[in-house]
Structure 1
Amino acid sequence: MNTRQTKQKYKQIILNHLLAGKSLSTYEAYDLYNITCFLQRISELRDQGITIQDEWVKNNGKRFKRYWIDTPADGNHDATGVQL
């Protein structure tokens, strides 16, 4: 499989996961989907205009970031932040 197809596939997997209302960390992206380039794909999605939230989390003495997409309450925008 060529690299470009893989990047697109991984971005879509990550986006689908986040749009389902679930959060994702680097470890979870690897564990669930075998994605080793998670932070690069997050950066690319953000560069496309998708608003992805993040926060530092501490668990078992380790710090890592968790990422998610907020779903607007007003109903005038979709989950990517694009006005409908």
Structure 2
Amino acid sequence: MTTTQQTKQKYKQIILNHLLAGKSLSTYEAFDLYNITCFLQRISDLRDQGVVIQDEWVKNNGKRFKRYWIDTPANGNHDASGVQL
């Protein structure tokens, strides 16, 4: 696996862990928190692998952006073991 592939896998795992923790994430937050500049591509990769990621347009301080999250069951049980990263 090349360094580029390893970095992509690492970023996907960081994003997935964040979303599975019940938190939402935007492009700006992904950069601010994790220095991820390719956030939308990693969201697309995760979706291609079967992860159901919700999104919505949000407006804040006159700026429009999308916020992403994963719906988790009411009991808080969420298992990503079926996701092959």
Q: TM-score, normalised by structure 1?
A: 0.86
Cα distance 1:82–1:19, how it changes in 2: closer, same or farther (>3 A)?
same
Distance 2:45 2:67 in 1: 17
Q: Is this contact kept in 2: 1:23–1:66, CA < 8 A? A: yes
Cα distance 1:83–1:70, how it changes in 2: closer, same or farther (>3 A)?
farther
**What 5-or-longer segments of structure 2 have no aligned partner?**
none
Alignment of structure 1 residues 58-73 onto 2, 5 Å: 58-73=59-74
Q: Alignment identity in percent? A: 90
Cα distance 1:11–1:76, how it changes in 2: closer, same or farther (>3 A)?
closer
Q: Report the secondary structure of 2:51's partner residue.
A: coil
How many positions carry a matched residue from both structures?
A: 83
Between 34-43 and 66-75, report the one with greater CA deviation: 66-75
Q: Report the secondary structure of 1:65's partner residue.
A: strand
Q: Is this contact kept in 1: 2:55–2:68, CA < 8 A? A: yes
1:28-49 Cα distance to aligned partner (Å, 9 max, x none): 0000000000000000000000
Distance 2:72 2:42 in 1: 20
4+ runs deviating over 4 angstroms: 74-84
Q: Is this contact kept in 1: 2:49–2:83, CA < 8 A? A: no
Q: TM-score, normalised by structure 2?
A: 0.85
